[in-house]
Amino acid sequence: MQPESAMTPGLDVTVLVSVGRHPLTGRVRRADQDARGVELARSLANAEVRLLHAGERNESSDAALRGYLGMGFSELALLEQPEGADVLPALAEALDATSPHLVITGERAERGEGSGLLPYLLAERLGWPLVSSLAAVESVENGVATLLQALPRGQRRRLSVRLPAIVTVDDAAPAPRQSAYGPARRGTLEASMGPVSNDEEWAKWQVQPARPRPKRLKIVKATSARDRFKAAAAKSDGGGGQVLTDVTPTQGAEAILTLLREENVLQ
């Protein structure tokens, strides 16, 4: 089914998955970016994919994690942690022990602090290179992966990185497949205890549901009332532009071309 191109046999991939939160209803679910990471790992030919989760275990989180199993996995490794714990030491130890070639994570968590720091801290701790916002893995050859990084404005950049490496995916990665109910029920969660370190700072902070940010007001800094009135009454963005009248089409086109070159939008 998948192209058996120049993939190293047995590429060992670990996907770090988390429990997500639906933005509208607030219910737990598989996290969107992590699910995209799983989808990316599934699309790698000849790869052995493992799922790893560290966190609190209860009924609702189990249901959310089974969503990942429904993407075609029989088991998911689960490092049990108390509520509000820092999962970094547990994950770092688990990754050190299994030493995969490639670790895929989402950009940031959908619950908790959600600072997006975990992959960077893991990379720093393990001493591995990190590539952020991945769109696709093009090939893996001789321990070097060629990756496609997503840039803003739909642009892509090609990178090559020496494995082992940590990569993060964001919304530019391929959309995840639907989770199938049967495999999700049949799969097992292999729970184990990892090292626990409490996050004391997090407990001290005030956390509340996000309130809408105030809209920025257009503040007119003028010394006289007349200037303020003029600013309030003036049509926005009037004037200031260069207008070329009575020019030949070629001259007009040259002026446009100069501007396009200055702005560096022509390939």
Q: Which of residues 63-102 bind other proteins (CB under 8 A)?
A: none
Tokens 């396009």 -> residue: 260
Closer to other proteins at the Cβ: 175 or 253? Answer: 253
Closer to other proteins at the Cβ: 47 or 145? Answer: 145
Query: Which parts of 4-23 interact with other proteins (CB under 8 A)?
Result: 21, 23
Closer to other proteins at the Cβ: 75 or 124? Answer: 124
Q: Where are the beta strands (DSSP E) in 22-173?
A: 28-30, 47-55, 75-80, 85-86, 102-106, 130-141, 144-150, 156-162, 165-169
Q: How far is the CB of 171 from other proteins (least distance, A)?
A: 10
Distance of CA 135 to the CA centre of its chain: 10
Strand pairing report for 85-86 and 197-198: antiparallel
- Provide the token pair at 151: 């840039």
Closer to other proteins at the Cβ: 45 or 159? Answer: 159
- What is the spatial distance between Cα 62 and Cα 53, in angstroms, rounded to a whole number? 11
Q: Which helix (H) or strand (E) holds 32?
A: helix 32-42
Closer to other proteins at the Cβ: 36 or 50? Answer: 36
- Provide the token pair at 107: 């950009």
Contacting other proteins (CB under 8 A), which of 40, 64, 126, 130?
130
Closer to other proteins at the Cβ: 10 or 240? Answer: 240
The site that binds other proteins (CB under 8 A) totals a number of residues, namely: 81
- What is the spatial distance between Cα 130 and Cα 165, in angstroms, rounded to a whole number? 6
Site stretch for other proteins (CB under 8 A), options 3-11, 97-105, 173-181, 243-251: 243-251
DSSP state of 72: T
186 three-class SS: helix
Contacting other proteins (CB under 8 A), which of 124, 141, 188, 222?
124
Q: How far is the CB of 88 from other proteins (least distance, A)?
A: 10
Contacting other proteins (CB under 8 A), which of 117, 175, 222, 234?
117
Query: Which parts of 35-64 interact with other proteins (CB under 8 A)?
Result: none
Query: Which sign does the torsion angle of CA 62, 173, 134, 39 carry?
Result: positive
Instruction: Determine if 265 is a binding residue for other proteins (CB under 8 A).
Output: yes
Q: How far is the CB of 142 from other proteins (least distance, A)?
A: 14
Query: Which parts of 182-211 interact with other proteins (CB under 8 A)?
Result: 201, 204-211
CB-count exposure of residue 165 (10 Å: 0-12, 13-18, 19+): buried
Q: Map residues 132-161 to x or -, x wherever contact with other proteins holds by CB under 8 A.
A: xx------------x-xx-xxxxxxxxxxx
